[in-house]
Each structure stands twice: as structure tokens, then as C-alpha cells.
Homo-oligomer: A and B are copies of this chain.
């Protein structure tokens, strides 16, 4: 398994594009409509937010993927089309407009939206824009598509990986967006993956659920699980491997590569959390189960007080232990060890649940790095888990105090 270039167009037979059509009214330089199209029919599957308030495009996509096949992905940013008037009708109209332009069927479209909740989707500007969007499709258009799905994201999120299955090189690539309202629950943020691997839609679904659980479901920006989370994959089979239709070595290789891809995209999301100045990695080891370690790590990276302490480069480890304590996991605080670490050093701050003397100025230097590790040992078993988050900053408040204008 190795990383490669090309994002959502890295696998054979996928084109992408992204342009500004006017869903985002404030800035004409910001792309707001993305398209990904496979050269031929694809097995396809998706996982969705567990928020019971689901955006209209998710409901349409669920319908379209019932047959396990799709050809294209259409995504707008700037408007979530959630709790909005005519939501499902407009999501479907956008599929039909793009399908007509490309000579495809509307029900072969995965459709997604991200942006403000509750406002009517300006469907006319999307309908007017699809001709240009289709005309700009290219086999190296991943960047344009990645840019067009950004909202408050500051960085584009692309990744691609390659592995070998039945002697054939297969590639999986994808783009994602994150930033705010990030606390995925089984589904994830918007992430659109493509692969040339031959694999059935059932096995794609299985691999996606599994990958989401070890990647997107292990990050949090603000504890708010979005109405619009979606992780989807199109698989066109052009790699020429024997189709993966069940468990086994081929599935395992595919799944390993997919997990690595999703973890990479998830970490990029956490690092680019709204207003963030730190990527926080929390590793819990010595747990009696992975689930236990995951719940503890996720509680720590979700703690507002811990996030504020990291923003201030303050080694306030009591908040870490406090967040573990209210996580719902039963553990012995008197076995817990905590250290802070970054590229410039490591400082042990808590041993067996009690504070250690440490040099505050050294801790400040360590925590002033962008990437910070909170390393927790439970000393009660052999399982571990890593989760990722970001700090909470003045800019987070600024961005979200007036998001809609």
C-alpha cells in the first residue's frame, strides 16, 4: 500500500470538475459546484449521518443507490439543502439537469450539499451552471472538485492510495471537506471516493462502514454531528482484478488501503477544523478494549476545555483526566499516565492519576507546535486507539458567530 497523487481522479476512468455558479453569492472567486463522472457504470455505496434530521440530497442519494450502481457525483457548497423548502425536489432537479447534460440517467447520480441549513437551494443557478461544469470535466480535475466542495475549509483535502490485488494495481482516491459541525457519527463529512478496483456494492458498503469507523468517526471539531455527512464511493472495475464479492485476502488488501485513505482525509479535516491552530492527536493505550480506548480518546479531543487549553499551549492535563472521567468508561484513575508530546519534545505530566512536577516553560514550547500529541496510558490492557481533533480559538467563535452572512 502506498500513497499517490491525483485525488478523486487518481483511479482510472474518472473525470472531475469544479466551478463557481453562484450558490455562494458573497465571492465569485469561490467555486461552489463539483462534478465527478465515471467513464462507465460503477458499483457504488455510501454511508450517511446518523443525525435524524437528514438533508434532502442524502434522501435522494439513498434512493439512487438502492440498486448498488451509480455513474456520477454532483455536489454544491454554500447551501446545505437541509430543512429547506422544496429540498428533495431541488436535489432531484439538480441531478436531472446534470444527467441531461451528460446523457446519463438522473438516478445514477449521487448528490450532496454543504453550507447553511434551512435556506432554499438556488436551483436555477445550478441548472444554469451544469453545462459549463460538464464541459470542464478532465482526468486531472480533482483539485477543482476539491475546491468546489469547501465551505469554511482553508485547505483542500485530497488523497489517493495504491495497492495490489490479484497481481493488478488498484487505486483508490478521494476528496473531502470538513471544517465545522464536525463530530461524525457512523456516517462522516462529505467525502467522495473513486476506485478502479472491481468490487461489489455490498462489499464497498461494508468497507466504507469499516473505514469510517476508524477514520472520520474518530475525529471531532466541535461536537456537532452534521445533517449532511456523507461518504460515498464509485468503483468502475477498470483495474482488471477479479471482482471482490466477499471476505478474503483481496477484500483485506482493499480495506487496508481504503482505511489508510480515510484516515489521511480525516486527519486533514481535523487539522483544518474551523479556526484551528493545532491538530490534536490523542492516543489511548493500555486499554482493555479498542472501544474503551476510542471512547476515552474521543471524549478528550471533544472536550471544549481541553481544546481551549491546547489553544493556549497550557499543559492543563487535569482537563484531560476530567474528560476521561465523564466519558462513561469505567477505568481506574489511579492507573492513568499522561504525557504531552510534539516534534520538539515530550513532557510527562501525570503518573498513576497524580500530577508530576514538570517544567511549565518546556511544556509551553512543546504545546506551541502545530501538531500536538496527548499520550495516555491506562495500564490495564493491551488495546489502543487514536483520535484526532483541533483546538478551539477566537477564530472559531468569529466564524460561527456570523456564519450565514
A-to-B contact residues, CB < 8 Å: 50-54, 80, 82-85, 116-120, 180-181, 183, 185, 222-227, 302-305, 308-309, 311-312, 314, 316-319, 321-326, 330-331, 333, 349-350, 353-355, 392-394, 396-405
Contacts and interface: CB of A to CB of B under 8 A. Distances in A.
B312 A226 contact: no
Contact of A53 (B80, B117, B322, B404): B322
Given A392-B397, A396-B397, 12 more contacts: A51-B325, A52-B326, A53-B333, A83-B321, A85-B355, A118-B321, A225-B322, A225-B325, A308-B396, A308-B399, A308-B401, A311-B397
A17 B28 CA distance: 64
Contact of A318 (B82, B312, B323, B326): B82
A325 B400 contact: no
A85 to B, nearest CB: 5
Contact of A222 (B50, B180, B304): B304
Contact of A333 (B52, B305, B393, B402): B52
A277 to B, nearest CB: 10
Contact of A180 (B52, B83, B305, B401): B305
A399 B392 CA distance: 12
Contact of A118 (B225, B308, B311, B355): B355
A181 B350 CA distance: 20
Given A353-B83, A355-B83, A118 B309 contact: no
Given A52-B330, A394-B394, A400 B303 contact: no
A19 to B, nearest CB: 26
A368 to B, nearest CB: 12
Contact of A117 (B80, B116, B302, B318): B318
